[in-house]
Amino acid sequence: MSQFKTSFITKNEMPLVLEPTRPLKREEFKELIQEENPFIRESIKKYGCVLFRDCPIDGTDEFNETVDFLKIGEKVNYIGGDSPRTKVKGAVYTSTEAPPGIKIPLHNELSFQKNFPKHICFYCDIPPQTGGETFVGDARKIYQDVDPHVRDRFEKGGLKYISRYYHKSRIMDLMNQIQKGHKNWIQVFETDSKMEVEKRCRDKNFDFRWLKNDWLEITQVGPTWITHPETNEKVWFNQIHLYDYNPKFIGTMRYLGVKMFYCRKDTLVHEACFANGKKIARQDLYHVMDVLDKNSAYFPWKRGDLMVCDNILAMHGRSSFTGPRRILAAMTA
Ligand SMILES: [Fe+2]
């Protein structure tokens, strides 16, 4: 029997909510999560993610410390990721700062990287006024729900992710001030040294090449699905649908804007294709997005909430929102 009260907040049984049975002081909570560590880790593996609610976790430092106490691996920096984020402290970042009007569909974090994070933890510092949920979905169920023909086409083709980042550009900086969406490679690699970028690309097994005006192109081929190393379950494991600019993802007006702004292909921030360069049929990507939508479980954030996702079993996304919103993220390997 756990000393936490357990419940579900969505009909998808994800996440499992863990609440203390009485108000706890911070030190008592730290003792509790140490005592309950086997139960917490088993719950993450069984349900894919857990949500600590009404626990004494106040602000960045306590979030950072709690992640360490959970013993779910060493925290890692967000190197090579394309999502606009701000480093807050150590390996704690803001969650995506993509424009509030865009809904980010479910995905596994950095699924195209060889050493993807094994867990991603989210902390609610400022809950959004409307929307802005970090919704989750069970990647085991999603694997089952995707049409096997689509799955075969993806698997045979191998999923190629292409990213292009600028170095220094006033126009791009200005665009990013208006609406964040295109990082420069200094932000992506957390260094201004080309030599260091090349080293980090080699360390992470990225294919890379330098383009005109010091732009950098990174190419990675990732899987369609994988097997969880501990539970042996097959899971949908990719984020190729986020690399295709299409009206379903970013809306018609933004789509037309992207088409005009990135009329030169060598500056287009993202491209998705098969490993041999062939196009992925848009109706296949739309089918996957529909399956992801159907499997998305929403719940409103409450200040102090901490959600821990097994990055293989649980996919996450972000709803569009209004008003201020500050959700922090930390990843572990
Ligand atoms: Fe993400």
Domain ranges for the chain: 4-140+297-332, 141-292
Fold match between 4-140+297-332 and 141-292?
yes
* pLDDT for 170: 87
What Rg do the C-alpha atoms of the chain give, in angstroms?
A: 20
Distance CA 143, CA 226 (A): 10
DSSP 268-319: -SEEEEETTSPPPPHHHHHHHHHHHHHT-B-----TT-EEEEETTTEEEEE-
d(CA 219, CA 184): 16
Nearest of 154, 184, 157 to residue 170 by alpha carbon: 184
C-alpha 125, offset from chain centre: 18
Phi, psi of 99 (to 5 degrees): -45, 135
Nearest-angstrom CA–CA distance, 84 and 176: 10
Helix (H) or strand (E) holding 172: helix 170-178
pLDDT of residue 247: 92
Alpha carbon of 21 to ligand 1 centroid (Å)? 31
Q: Which fold has domain 4-140+297-332?
A: Double-stranded beta-helix (3.60.130)
**What pLDDT shows up at residue 36?**
96
Find the 109 Cα to ligand 1 centroid distance in Å. 5
Which SS3 state, helix, strand or coil, does residue 261 take?
Answer: helix
The beta-carbon contacts of 21-29 under 8 Å, at least 24 apart in sequence, are 23/54, 24/55, 24/56, 25/56, 26/56, 26/58, 26/62, 29/55, 29/56, 29/57
Calculate the alpha carbon distances from 185 to 99, 202, 222, 302, 304 in Å.
20, 15, 21, 34, 33
CA distances to 184, 185, 193, 200 from 190, rounded to whole Å, are 10, 8, 9, 10
Residue 178: per-residue pLDDT: 76
Q: What is the pLDDT of residue 263?
A: 72
Residues belonging to the chain: 333
pTM of the entire predicted model: 0.93
Q: What separation in Å is there between the alpha carbon of 193 and the centre of ligand 1? A: 26
Tell me the C-alpha to C-alpha distance, in Å, between residue 216 and each of 90, 133, 154, 219, 267. 26, 33, 26, 10, 9
| Residue 195 to residue 189: CA distance in whole angstroms | 11
CA of 35 from ligand 1 middle (Å) equals 30
Q: What pLDDT was estimated at residue 320?
A: 96
Q: How far is the CA of 105 from the centre of ligand 1 (A)?
A: 9
pLDDT on residue 177: 78
Give 329 Cα–ligand 1 centroid separation in angstroms. Answer: 9
The whole-number pLDDT of residue 293 equals 97
3-state secondary structure of 73: coil
Cα(22) to ligand 1 centroid in Å equals 33
- How far apart, in whole angstroms, are the C-alpha atoms of residue 125 and residue 127? 7
DSSP 185: H
What is the 104 CA–ligand 1 centroid distance (Å)? 8
How far, in Å, from the CA of 119 to the mean position of ligand 1? 11
- Quote the pLDDT of residue 269: 86
Within 10 A of 227 (CB to CB), how many other CB atoms are there? 12
CATH topology of domain 141-292: Double-stranded beta-helix (3.60.130)
Could you report how far apart the first and last alpha carbons of the chain are, in Å?
29
Ligand 1 center from residue 134 Cα (angstroms)? 9
* In contact, 326 and 97? CB cutoff 8 Å: no
Pick the closest to residue 287 from 105, 30, 117 (CA basis): 105
Between the CA of 158 and the centroid of ligand 1 the distance, in Å, is 21
Q: Using the mean position of ligand 1's atoms as its centre, give its distance from the Cα of residue 332 in Å.
A: 13
What is the model's pLDDT at position 169?
Answer: 86
CA of 263 to the centre of ligand 1 (A): 27
Which residues in the chain come in under a pLDDT of 50?
Answer: none
In angstroms, the CA 58 to CA 60 distance is: 7
So what's the pLDDT on residue 26?
A: 97
| H or E element at residue 165 | strand 159-165
- Ligand 1: centre distance to CA 227 (Å): 20
C-alpha of residue 27 to centroid of ligand 1, in Å: 31
Q: Which residues contact 252 (CB under 8 A, 6 or more apart)?
A: none
